[in-house]
Chains A and B, each alone.
Chain A
């Protein structure tokens, strides 16, 4: 109900903002606002024309997505010692939900703050919808931010908090009331207008912060760990909520988090950051299934990593020898014969089989169960492999697994997984070229 009511307007928002940036070159401070319903209808009509024009221009082939945010060779140093962000390149397309994921101190918040205008890069270029904003202050950028601890104005009512941006842009009172009501409706806080930030819960404050930013119809919304202060259950709920809102308003979201689950749940694409650089950038499933560095393999979920040497090929697979008696297979692309490699497999891809009973087309290792813990959904095993390494295995507690019985400490088991599930990682940060041109998002706003 709500989404059908809002969607036409959303298109108008996006169209209006991109139209402005095309015509007005610099001052984004004062945005022309549609006045009354008639003007809005005209706006909507124009947006339809523009949309269809776009796809016509592309000749019916893949629609060309506009680049909303572009970072070119951006570096940020604090003092002479600390390099928070180290020569990153990034392109975020229109309407994308993009996450910057990494441990604390990796430079993700600094990157976001540079896009928002709260920090200036030491070198490099920042563009918003094709316009160079590197040196523009925040109040002249068509982006809005949801701050980590919300930063709601404690002396203003919820309504005035939400209306703050529009009041600064000198929007008319009736228009402000209409749009604030629409926003509070969107974040499901109707009727809270008159309260003060001190009188609402953390989850509600989070929604107000979102409404306060979105009401300005920014080209890009920046979110700095917005769910960090909420408890787990509320966080899960808000993740879905945020995704819904993003799809409804169709605004580009750039989301900073250290929580891999959060990034995976919501994002179209994720950039994993480490020590000021992008370790890997891609769709969540690509990052998870094909991590390209040991950092990504370890930061996103759990990985079992082994080292070996490529020794010949077998059809589509390369053969990797761990030691004299053990050989595994992995996809051939990107590995060269004779090279020493680090390979990995995710714990849930591994099946426990009776020792020596594995089929020929699987990778098989044998080992001894060191530890088994039952966690309800699955059982987690830690298995010692001859040669000293340990493997983690998650086995679903299905009927089949139950029939086989819970393995106990000391049991000898076989570990079997498909060669296709085996990935090769680079030991450190070895992506020389920015990964931005790869893997355009194809799963968007379904």
Chain B
């Protein structure tokens, strides 16, 4: 026992070792491996060779820039929507939930008890052209026959919004929950009306939650392919769909790997800029 006491640093690394080993084997190694895959040339039939073909990066980016931009757009809109829906929801649970707080939080995460894929698939069924939602309305001539919800960009964005809403709501709730009520009383005492209290106290103090929520939503939304696959059309394919197709359908591993790295880099750069901007905002408290 005393050895651990005398070597606190070594003890810390020892405790970290299982985690580090796990990450090294299941994250670091595959990532490096995938990077090498992106530099292969060849075909499945003829075999691949590591040729350090860096040219594939600009080539893939040029070929699929539409998909990248679409992913960025859909991801951003969906993130904004989850924020607009999730903030009032989290605010209500945190400040008005009372003794129903736990129940309401449970309801927020309740959809997770069903598979992500299954829920998206059920959307597709419910919103199908002659499905549960649209069929009766069309039969009653309330909607034109050619009206459709599925296979549209709106459906993809709505699906992403729905699927990632809890990832936005929960961090927002945690941040709002932690705001001491007497800070709002103090603001009220110092002549801040309802809007000013929200703008000057609640919102700045909820910023860490906004930050966490947007990242937790935006990053997976950018790379999502399930919603576009099940609710979209070929015209609303996202970069995730392309990567999935490159790997699993046409076995074009190098392009798939290169696209994955481009996506990763784009997200890292975006998050870095975002962290800088929001981080500064947090420091100054958003005061003019």
Residues of A that sit less than 8 Å from B by CB: 29, 116-118, 137-139, 143-145, 147-149, 151-157, 160, 164-165, 167-169, 212-213, 216
Contact indicator A147/B182 (Cβ below 8 Å) = yes
B192 touches A139 (CB 8 A): yes
Q: A156-B287, A160-B285, A168-B191 are in contact. Are A151 and B196 (CB under 8 A)?
A: no
Known: A151-B182, A154-B205, A155-B205. A137 touches B188 (CB 8 A): yes
Is B183 in the interface zone, CB < 8 Å from A? yes
6 nearest interchain CB pairs? A165-B190, A151-B186, A155-B285, A168-B191, A151-B182, A138-B188
Question: Which among B188, B282, B286, B287 is the interface contact of A139 at CB below 8 angstroms?
Answer: B188
Q: How many residues of B contact A (CB 8 A)?
A: 22
Residue of A nearest to B179 (CB): A154
Task: Report the separation of the CA atoms of residues A117 and B192 in the bound assembly, to the nearest whole angstrom.
Answer: 13
**Taking A147-B185, A153-B183 as contacts, is the C-beta distance between A216 and B282 under 8 angstroms?**
no
Task: A151 to B182: give the CA distance in the assembly, Å.
Answer: 6
CA distance A116 to B191 in the complex (A): 12
Residues from chain B with a CB closer than 8 A to the CB of A164 are 187, 190, 192, 200
The answer to whether B131 has its CB under 8 Å from any CB of chain A is no
A118 to B186, CA, bound (A): 10
A147 contacts across to B, CB distance below 8 A: 182, 185-186
Using known A-B contacts A155-B282, A156-B285, A156-B287, determine if residue A144 contacts B183 with beta carbons closer than 8 Å.
Answer: no
Closest to B281 in A: A155
Nearest CB of B to A257, in Å: 18
Q: Which residue of A lies closest to B190 (CB)?
A: A165
Q: How far is A121 from B125 in the complex, measured between Cα atoms in Å?
A: 57
20 more A-B residue pairs beyond the given contacts A29-B191, A138-B189, A165-B190, with a C-beta to C-beta distance below 8 A: A117-B189, A118-B185, A139-B189, A139-B192, A144-B190, A145-B185, A147-B185, A147-B186, A149-B182, A151-B182, A153-B187, A153-B201, A155-B205, A155-B282, A157-B285, A164-B187, A168-B196, A213-B189, A213-B190, A216-B190
B285: A residues at CB distance < 8 A: 153, 155-157, 160
Q: Is the CB of A160 within 8 A of B287?
A: yes
**Known contacts A155-B282, A165-B190, A168-B192, A138 near B287 by CB under 8 Å:** no
The dominant DSSP class at the B interface is helix
Instruction: Tell me the bound Cα distance from A46 to B287 in angstroms.
Output: 36
Please state if A169 and B182 are interface contacts (CB–CB under 8 Å). Answer: no
Whether, in the assembled complex, B97 has its beta carbon less than 8 Å from a beta carbon of chain A, the answer is no
Q: Is B8 in the interface zone, CB < 8 Å from A?
A: no
* B193 at the binding interface (Cβ < 8 Å): yes
The answer, yes or no, to whether B135 is at the interface (CB within 8 Å) is: no
Contact between chains at B185 and A138 (CB < 8 Å): yes
Give the interface centre of B185, B186, B193 by most chain A CB atoms within 10 Å.
Answer: B186
Tell me how far the C-beta of B196 lies from the nearest C-beta in chain A, rounded to whole angstroms.
6
Q: How far, in angstroms, from A168 to B189 measured CA to CA in the complex?
A: 11
A216 to B207, CA, bound (A): 28
Q: A236 vs B8: C-alpha distance in the bound complex, in angstroms?
A: 43
B189 touches A155 (CB 8 A): no
CB distance from B16 to the nearest CB of A (A): 29
Cα-based distance from A316 to B139 in the complex (angstroms): 104
A145 and B186 CA atoms in complex are apart in Å by 7
A residues less than 8 Å from B188 (CB atoms): 117-118, 137-139
B180 adjacent to chain A (CB < 8 Å): yes
Residues of chain A within 8 A (CB-CB) of B207 are 155
Shortest Cβ distance from residue B179 to the other chain A in the assembled complex, whole angstroms: 10
List of B residues within 8 angstroms of A149 by Cβ: 180, 182
User: What B residues does A216 contact at CB under 8 A?
Assistant: 190-191
A117 to B193, CA, bound (A): 13
Chain B residues with CB below 8 A from A148, complex form: 182
User: Mind listing 20 A-B residue pairs with CB under 8 Å?
Assistant: A29-B191, A118-B185, A138-B185, A138-B188, A138-B189, A139-B191, A139-B192, A144-B189, A145-B185, A145-B189, A149-B180, A153-B200, A155-B207, A155-B285, A155-B286, A156-B285, A165-B190, A167-B287, A168-B191, A216-B190
Instruction: Tell me the complex Cα distance, A138–B194, Å.
Output: 11
CB distance from B1 to the nearest CB of A (A): 37
Closest chain-A Cβ to B231's Cβ sits at a distance in Å of: 40
What separation, in Å, do the CA atoms of A169 and B205 have in the docked complex? 22
Query: Cβ of B205: which chain A residues have Cβ within 8 Å of it?
Result: 154-155
User: Which residue on chain B has the smallest CB distance to residue A28?
Assistant: B191
Contact with A along B184-226 (1 / 0, CB 8 A): 0111111111001000110011010000000000000000000
User: Which of B180, B187, B189, B282 meets A116, CB within 8 Å?
Assistant: B189
Which residue of chain B has its CB nearest to the CB of A224? B182
* Distance from A69 Cβ to chain B, minimum over Cβ atoms (Å): 16
Chain B residues, Cβ within 8 Å of A156: 285, 287
Which residues of chain B are within 8 angstroms of A212 by Cβ–Cβ distance? 190
Residues in A with CB closer than 8 Å to B200 are 153, 164, 168
